[in-house]
Amino acid sequence: QVQLVESGGGVVQPGRSLRLSCAASGFTFSDFGMHWVRQAPGRGPEWVAVISYDGRNKYYVDSVKGRFTISRDNSENTLYLQMNSLRPEDTAVYYCARGYFGLLTWGQGTLVTVSS
């Protein structure tokens, strides 16, 4: 069955970096666009970034532009989110999701806490 498993979350100080991973299985990873969506405690989801099926096109929400980078390795069926210059307001559960215009499948999420 289709499965997405995020990892790499944790507690990090402001200004530091973290890299999230999303391992995909149960479908042809290279056929699908992939997203990162985050959800701060008690808030609704916030879209973060998308990458096309071939990795050529990437788009970001304004608040993370220049700090976060989405990438993928289709040979390893893995999606990444490199997060630099982290801020307290980046604290959230980060989900990866399969699809492009509609997010068909979501992982269980990984918690990122930015705090000194």
**Binder among 47, 53, 74, 84 for another protein (CB under 8 A):** 47
Spatial contact of 94 and 48, defined as CB atoms under 8 Å apart: yes
Bin 27: left if φ > 0, else alpha if -120 < ψ < 50, else beta: beta
Give the nearest distance from C-beta 21 to another protein in angstroms: 17
Q: If you search the block for the tokens 């806490």, which residue do you land on?
A: 113
Please give the structure tokens belonging to residue 22: 């999303």
103 contributes a contact to another protein by CB under 8 A: yes
DSSP symbol at 40: -
CA–CA distance, 91 with 113 (Å, rounded to integer): 5
66 contributes a contact to another protein by CB under 8 A: no
Query: Measured from the CB atom, is 13 or 104 closer to another protein?
Result: 104
**Binder among 72, 107, 112, 114 for another protein (CB under 8 A):** 107
44 contributes a contact to another protein by CB under 8 A: yes
Q: Footprint of another protein on this chain (CB under 8 A)?
A: 35, 37, 44-47, 50, 59-62, 95, 99, 101-109
